[in-house]
Amino acid sequence: MKNEFKTLNIEVYKCPECEQEIYSRAQHDFISCDCGRTSLDGGHLNDDTWIPERLIGLAIEAKRRILTLDITSRHLYDDWNNSIDDFGKVK
């Protein structure tokens, strides 16, 4: 059986207001931090790094870091599409 997991780098943003870290899991995944001041939309792969297409609110000022997960982009999409919500906000 083929192992479908791989290391995926994800661009994560930390809200300067509430300090929660968030990332967008799919093309239409609009996600906000708990205080609602920082939002991201539309995650996609760019040179093996999953990055948002749009930064909204305080995200422009937010600190950025790379989070590495052993997961596929399909798992991130399914997490968003099926409302599982295990991913998207760093706990």
Question: Could you read off the pLDDT of 9-28 as tens digits, one per residue?
Answer: 999 999 999 999 999 999 89
Mean pLDDT of 41-57: 91
Query: Can you say how many angstroms the Cα of residue 21 is from the centroid of all Cα atoms in its chain?
Result: 9
Beta bridge partners of 19: none
Mean pLDDT of 62-89: 92
Closest Cα to residue 74, out of 45, 52, 31, 51? Answer: 45
Q: Is the pLDDT of residue 5 over 90?
A: no
Which CA distances in Å does 54 have to 2, 9, 59, 70? 34, 18, 9, 24
* pLDDT recorded at residue 4: 58
Which CA distances in Å does 24 have to 3, 14, 29, 58? 24, 13, 6, 15
Domain boundaries, the chain: 7-90
- Give the predicted TM-score (pTM) of the model: 0.85
